Structures are given as C-alpha cells and as structure tokens.
Chains A and B, each alone.
Chain A
Amino acid sequence: MEGTAVAVCEILKYLIIHWKCETGVSNGALLEGQLVISMEALNSNHQENTLHCVTTIASAGSTYGGLVLKKFIKEIQSILPGFSAKLNWTSEEASSSQDISGVTPFQMIFEVDEKPRTLMTDSLVIKNFLRRIIMVHPKIRFNFSVKVNGILSLEIFGTKNEPTLNLSNGIALVINYQHYVSRPKFGAAQLLCSRIHPVLGHPVMLFIPDDVAGMGSLGELILTPAAALCPCPKVFSNQLNRVSSVSIFLYGPSGLPLILPSQKQPTTTVFEDTSFFIDWKKYHLCLVPNMDLSLDRDLVLPDVSYQVESSEGDQSQNMDSQGQTLLLFLFVDFHSGFPVQRTELWRAHTLLTVHLSAILTESHSVVQDSIQVTVDQALEQYHQDAKDHQKLQASLSVAVNSIMSIVTGSTSSSFRKICFQALQAADTQEFGTKLHKSFYEITQHRFLPHCSCEVNQQLLPEKNAEQSTEDAHENSSPELLTGTSEQVENKRLKRGSLRRGMEETQAFHSARAPSQLEAAARRTEPAGAFPTPSGSRASPGGGLEDSLWLQEVSNLSEWLDPGPEP
C-alpha cells in the first residue's frame, strides 16, 4: 500500500502536469497559483496505536479552471492503483458553501489509517517535496498543515520575490543560498552575498535503452545540468575556500522532483559511483556517498549527496570549518514536435522515475561531458579564487619578510623605534606578528573572490523587514537589490492558545517524531478553511496562554520521545 506521502506527491505532480498542459501556460511562463494541503489525524476507533488520517488537497483561487473533476479523479486513481484509500472529490458547488477564505474551486480528500510514526515521516516527506517544487516554481505557494488530535501545525511554502534564474520551459531556479545550506558558522556581518550563481550546462539528449519500452515514439528527453557553489565564495572572504560536499538534485519534466526519499533505490544507483559522471581528481577532491540525509531539516534536501573525504595531506586543515557545497541540478525535460500532452509528460516522468539509472548509463558519454564542463565552469572561479588567495598569501609573506629584514637590520635606533611604535609592538617578534596580521586583515576583506552580484547584507530571516523586491534574474551583470529579500518559505504561524481536546497524546508515545517542535496548540478550525497567509507571525497571547503553551510543549515532548506503551 502506498503511503500518504507518496499519494500526495503523486497527486501534486499530476496536478501540476495537468495545470501546465491544460491551462495553456505558454512555454517560458511560470506557473502561478496556490494549493492547500491539510492532514488531519485522530486516534483510530478501530485499531490501536493508529491514526485515522484525512488528507485534503484543495486549490485556492481559480487556478484550476477547466479541470474536469470526475475525469481527473479517475486518472488519479489509475496512477495510484495500490492506494486503497477512498478518494473523494468535492464538487465546486459543495465546497464553496463551506469555504471561509472565499474561493476553493476544487478539493479532493482521501483517508488512510497510519501509524503515528508513518504520519510524521509522511509529513516530512511532503514538506521536502513541496520545498523541491517551489525551488523551480517560484510562483506556486503551498499551505501545508498537519493536525494531530487537535494540535495544529501550519507552514507556508513559497519563494515570492526571491531572486531566480530563468531556465527553459517554464521553470526558474531560486538562487537564494539559504534554501540549500544552513547558515555558515560565522556571524551575519561577514555574509556578503546571499545568492548562488549557477552555471548552466549544455543540454544533451538522453538515449533510452532498448529494453525500456514505449518511449521511442513519444519524443526526446533532454538533460540540462546546472552547477553552483553554495554559499557564494564571497561569503567566505575571510575563510579558506574548500568544497566539502556535493548535492545533486534531480528534476523531471515540468520541474517536478523525480524521486521521493523513499524511492531512491534503484533510481539513483548510477550515482553510487561518485566519479561516474565527474572527474573529481582534477580538483584534488575525493568523494564518498553521504547516506546521512535527515529529512528533518528546513533545507531543500538533495537526491544524492557526496561528502569530501579529507586526505592525509590535509590533516592540518581545519576540518571543523564549514566548507562549500557544490550544488548540481540535473533537469530532464521532455520535448516532442507537437504540443505535449498530459499523458506523454506523465509517462515520461514515470519512465524517468523508474529507469533513470539505466537511461543515464546509456547516455553516459554525453551526460558526462555536459556535466563535467558545467562543474568545471562552476569550480573554475573557485579555483581561480583559491589561486589568487595563495598568491596573496605568498606575496604578503615576501612583503612582511622584506620589511622585517630592513627594520631588524637597521642600525638606526630611532627608525626601529618609530616602526615598533607604529604597530604598538614591544619587540621584534611581536612586531613581525602584528605586521603580518595587519597586512592580512587589511588585504583580506578587499581581496575578495570574484562575485558578479552586488553585496547584500543578509540579515537573519527573523529580522527581515517586509520589503518588496522584484523577482530578479541571475545573469552576468550584477543585480542591484534594494535590500533584503523577503523570505516567505517556511513561515510558521504559531497560534497562541491551546485546545482542551488534545488529551490523548499518549497514543503517540511510541511515535518517533522529529526533534524540532512543529505543532502549536490552538483551537481547531474547520478542515480546508485556512486563513490566507499574511506573512506575519501571530505572537503568543497573554500569560494564561503562555503557560498553556508551555504545558502543551511539554506534552508534545512526550509525543516526540519514545515512551512506554499505554
């Protein structure tokens, strides 16, 4: 039986494909709209330690005008044959009367029984999937809520007004680095560039193996790689640049993630050999697959991750310092000589999901060439910057030694005194140390690695003021940002007060829950009717609510930690 996560993701994929094909969105234009996904779980009356989960997917606005409801739900059922849940489709007339927010032209509901642990995992999988979608569909927003026995957690996923890089065929890559790596370990003051600067590779046609049926007559699969160092090297103006990890993101037609975390094998077996597509030796990098990809992160999770192994010669390097991540995006698109049909896109997607390794292996040579050139270009500046840095270090060393030679060799005591006083040094050794430090400090922050973008003093997300910025497109000329970009993704609306009806938390004692507290207690709201996200945080209420909130947190912690069975 397929889980809720798979079902939701497949439905969303199918919706987006349908949307793209049926609403007449022209090639190059970005899809725009809003979807609401809610999961409401209550303790099952029939099974122990089980939650009955009702999942609702609804649209906000008239995004899906033209959708033939019955036909659509039939198609959904056909693509999820193993999904035994009951799929309901609410008609437009019926939904509108319940709608509080105003407009919900359609809504589909399905119900499953799940273990609490499975529900939590599904929630994380869905969130990751939504993050992956909004990275290439910046004008689509998702409201995702999970209510477990009355405890509600609501998140909004969207990347409005963030800088993007336009790709072909109606998708654009969000280039705000904070989606891909966590904030570097040094202070905000040293962050100088909030963007990644992808290098787009040459598109190549993929070859389909003979034993993979049914694709020959449909069209062509075109792979376009894009690579970028993250964060921008400018962030590391005072740090030693080094690549410490590689993240690979696989996207299929219509900018949809090809695989879910649970589906990685065997789709990504081709990537188990870290050097199958990329020669890392030329960069003196030794990579190993990184299997530790926790779902419970607010970042966009890659499909494949490599970790750089430190060589014996690098023992002196400070391995604790955060290095850079090389992001590699592989976009596979479908082209035919005619306007693409929905079924063709879906078939292409399914083919890639199942046979990606075989297809990439069959196309090894062309894919390798394209990816290698892309990675070379992305790392070229990195290496040039590293060389410039080495050159600077060598030159400063010569300058310092030369000055030391003159000062220490001088027979003029007044000259030596003046020199020591200038740097407030007591003796020759201190003078040398301070001289080197002065040169280093003065030259470092000016001797910046190349970055084509303007300096953007990036504040912590919580401190961002609401500012309107245009969607920016990455190109070779610097984009002038008017200020900090508005980050809408992952805004959590935490409600202040608790609901009394959330007594039965002990049913979740055995559930393995994420370490991060997501739920906030509040009075329940009718299913499917969510307030329009305002982008603002609702602050907790008065003293009583604070204490109730704290109690709820402690109750939830019991839910999160494994405990004795009731």
Chain B
Amino acid sequence: MTTAEIPFKIDIPDSKLSLLKQKLALTTFPDELEDAGREYGAPLADIQRLVARWRDGYDWRKHEAELNAELPQFMKDIEVEGFGTLAIHYVHKKSEVEDAIPLLFVHGWPGNFLEVRKILPLLTAASPDHPSFHVVAISMPGYGFSDGPTKKGFRFPQYAEVANKLMLALGYDQYVTQGGDLGFFVTRKIANMYGGKHSKAWHTNFPRLPNSSPPKLFSRPLAYLTHILTPYTEAEKAGLARTDWFEKLGRGYFMEQSTQPQTLGYGLTDSPAGLLAWIYEKLVNWSDDYLWDDDEVLTWVSTYWFSRAGPAASLRIYYEMVQGNERGHEDTSIPLGFSYFPKELFNVPKRWHKASNLVFESEHTAGGHFAAHEKPELLVNDLRAMFGKGGPAFGIVPGKAGYR
C-alpha cells in the first residue's frame, strides 16, 4: 500500500516569470471613488502598491527557495474512480517522535498548502508536555502544484477519496484531520466516508453543524427557551454581526464561483492584478487585523498565479459543491473538535452547536478565517489539548499517541 515518495521542489520556469513581469508592466488600473476605503472592495492604493512591488522588488526565486527549504514537498499519482489519475502535490513532514499522530491538513480557498507553513514546526516538535504529529498537507486537486480534474462532477467524495488514498499510500492507515473553509467540507466528507476505519477524529476552525442557527421552539424547546431568555454576550453579538456582514456583503465571490466559474476564470488567469485583488480582498476582510506583509501576500497570490492547473481551476469546487447540492449537513460519528476564532466568517453562539460527537471546543478572543496562518500557536495548542494526554481524543489513533 505504501508507495515511494517522489520529492518535489517548486521551480517555476523563467518564461513564466518573464510573462508575469510583462503583464504587470502593462497593468491598467481602474479609478476609485473618493473615500471609498474598503467599502467597495480592495482599495486602489493597496493594489497599486502591491502590483508595483510584484513588478519590481518582489523576488519570487527567494521565496520559492524558502518554501522549498521549509516545506518538504512531494508528488504522487492518485487514481480517482471515474476521473483517471491525478498528480497530487503535498507537504509531508514526519516528527522525530516515531509514534506521532498522523495528521492530514486540508486547506480551502483562497488558501493552499502554504497555510501549513507556520503550524508545521509546532505540530512536529517533540516534547514530553504535548503530543507530536506527522503532518501531511495536501494541495487539493486544482490547487498549488496538483493537477486539476479534467472532467465535470469532481465533488467532495472525490476530494475525500484523493486525500484518503494519499494518506494510505504514505502508510497512514489511520489518521486525524484538520481543516477550515473548503477543508471543513472535505474533512467532514472524509469523516463521513472513512470515519472509524481510516479517519479517527476531525478538527475544524470553521465550526458548522445542522443546528448552527437559532434553535426553534418545536424542535429544541429547551434550547429555544435558553436562547430567548439568555441575553447575547458582546462576543456573541459581534459574531452574529460578522456572520450577517458576510451573508450580506461578503458572498459575491461565492455566488459567481458557484454558478459561472469559467466566466470569472478568464480574468483571473489573464490579469495578475485582477487575481491579486480577488484574493487580497479575502486575505484582509477574512482575517483579524492580521498584519500582512506585502511579500507575504505576493507569495500567497503567486502560488495561485503559478499553480499547475491555473487559477480558474481552483474555482470549480464551488460550482461542483453547490450544483451537486453538497453543502448540507452530513453525519459523522468520529470525535469532532471545534476551535472558535472571533473573526471567522460564520460565527454563531456556541450554545447553538450541538452534536453527540463534539468532544472538544476551544474559544479564542482573536483570530479569523486563516487560523493556521494568523494564530498558529493557538491552533496547535488546541490540537495538542484535543489529542494530548488527558484530552478527549487522546490515543484515538491506536499505537500513535504522539509521545515517545
């Protein structure tokens, strides 16, 4: 079952770098309304500054080398039923601790494998005080340096199949998962399809359950009464306001990507400034006042620009998931953990979440959607608490408790 690993180093051809530069040099910018701020979208001053930096000053080769140095990467061919073979790119780092817990990390959009960068050393670190993990961070098909599917209908079961097969191919017959954004849906699918047999527990920083809406009188009378009698805390009010903002003003990208991704894809493939703005808006709006460094943003966006399948491929998961009607609730029975970050896009009072397999909850007072990137220590501490000695999912992977 275990197959040999094929090391991979990112090495973007010079021709791609020079085409990017040519395009950046020709960038035409729109105007902007006076005092628009962030109200209408990504601010012009930011995009102009970032484009200027990307064109002159940003050194892709330097960042490429750093990524290759920090993230041990590999490629593996994975066969997907009905879709042929896809070349899958992934990060794989084993802890020194032999019985470390195998953990699959699944990114979302507009994320990618880079999101494992800060948590990787923390997860694999050895200590008697906390468990260690062997980490696999997959680039989902259509993202990073993985192939994109070429046929219609590649949905969550297929993403789950790819991820599970990858873990098995690496010798991890049993593992746990961590995911947010689309990674939440994929790891939930993994838990649903392979839970118990292969996936032994799942943790997410994008908490959602079927009851993640106000309890109704007839379905949950006690919860309903608690709901109407208990005043919301300030934090809960802020969370609901955040959720409301996202619903009313933040979902345009979702509506287009889930209905006409090909149409949108042309502009994002042809215009680096267009792609930059499309992604940068999320990096800012979805994080919790995270202090993005310009080169940090450009590295993130460059991995989309230089991605193997192109940026348009990354959008199709939205179409497949919505048109395939896949976002609804799915039962999982394996232990589940939630980390709550206040600036997550969907943030409802914790007491609305009820599931018999919800064994771990941790609430934070700072952090947003890109938890692994914004708050790596907090996220890893949560995983250590969930899976470590005394934790609710300790020893969930037999023989791999995470300690020497």
Is the pairing of A and B real?
A: no
Interface positions of A (Cβ within 8 A of B): none
